[in-house]
Amino acid sequence: MTIHTPLRGLRCFCVAAECLSFKETAKQLYLTPSAVSHQIKQLEDNLNLSLFERKTRAIALTETGKRFYQEVQPLLAQLADTIAQFSQVERMQEVSISMPEFFASELFVPKLIGWSAQYPNINLKLETVKSRRDSPKYTDLSIILSGKQPDESQAYDLFPISYVPACNPKLYEQIHGKSYRALEKTPLILHQARPHAWHQWAEHVGYHNFKPKQIIQLDSMFSVARAAQQGLGVALIPLPISQSWFSSGSLVRLFEQELLSRDRYYLVRHDDDANRPEIQLLIDWVLKSFQPVNG
């Protein structure tokens, strides 16, 4: 009797058997957890076998499921290799990467012309994250801003971040040369992820009894830079990532002293599939493009 078992159901089963989580399987296959559960259930119904033991907060392979995985996984791997061998050499590939939206707009996107010219057969899928509290979608790679080394085995240090007081040229002409006291007479702008940054900067430069007139917290670094550009007040702007704002004259450093932070940008790899060389190509390109910023 012929059993109509879709290949996608077998692939879904193998991924679930390896990570023992329908939620993680859904992330890796770009499906919903309910779709994963449906495909697994359909496969079990077709085989008339129970492959997984469902627990309250976990799943586990049954003994039958373990034996089935040991038989099916090598066959799927061989099938994938065969398809790859018969595919066109110049086939289109795709790599996905997520990063903070400010990093994307200020550094990554402006350099994409170089990537597109060098790798015309690799499609790039870019996901942006507004803040560190947001949960990014699953991607092959991600660029993150963190105060500590990521736990992932493949994490690359890109460059550190420091913060400098800056404003637009008009406001600069009004308040520069008036010492740190000028900061008590104009609104101060910062990212809400660093609510105490202005007080930390004041302590760093030895400005005691710091009493700001008003502090405005915004939820994105682009909004912080834009507000300073529009003359709303003086903002703590991250360097070197915001260098283009200073090079264009949109912003001017009010004081030279920088607030050093533990924050650094890291490149993290999530997909360790050795059969996807396009991921390593993007890693090499990112390191070559952005690590020199550190120097």
Looking at per-residue pLDDT, the higher value among 243 and 291 belongs to 243
* Contact criterion met (CB below 8 Å) for 213 and 242: no
- Report phi then psi at 20, rounded to 5: 50, 45
**Which of these CATH numbers, 3.40.190.10, 3.40.50.10540, 3.40.50.720, 3.40.50.2000, describes 93-160+264-290?**
3.40.190.10
Instruction: Note the pLDDT of residue 87.
Output: 62
Give the model's confidence band at 116: pLDDT under 50 very low, under 70 low, under 90 confident, else very high.
Answer: confident
Calculate mean pLDDT across residues 56-78. 93
CATH for the stretch 7-86: 1.10.10.10
- Chain region(s) in the chain for CATH 1.10.10.10: 7-86
- Chain region(s) in the chain for CATH 3.40.190.10: 93-160+264-290, 161-262
Strands 141-146 and 59-61: unpaired
Sign, Cα dihedral of 137, 143, 148, 150 = positive
pLDDT tens by residue, 227-255: 999 999 999 999 999 999 999 999 999 99
pLDDT tens by residue, 73-87: 999 999 988 877 766
Q: Please check the confidence at residue 282 and state whether its pLDDT lies above 50.
A: yes
Query: What letter does residue 137 receive in the DSSP assignment?
Result: P
* Contact criterion met (CB below 8 Å) for 9 and 65: no
Composition of the chain by helix, strand, coil, percent to 5: 45, 25, 35
Q: Please check the confidence at residue 132 and state whether its pLDDT lies above 70.
A: no
Calculate mean pLDDT across residues 80-108. 81
* Contact criterion met (CB below 8 Å) for 19 and 27: no
CATH for the stretch 161-262: 3.40.190.10
Q: How far is CA 152 from CA 28, 156, 174, 287, in A?
A: 16, 10, 48, 17
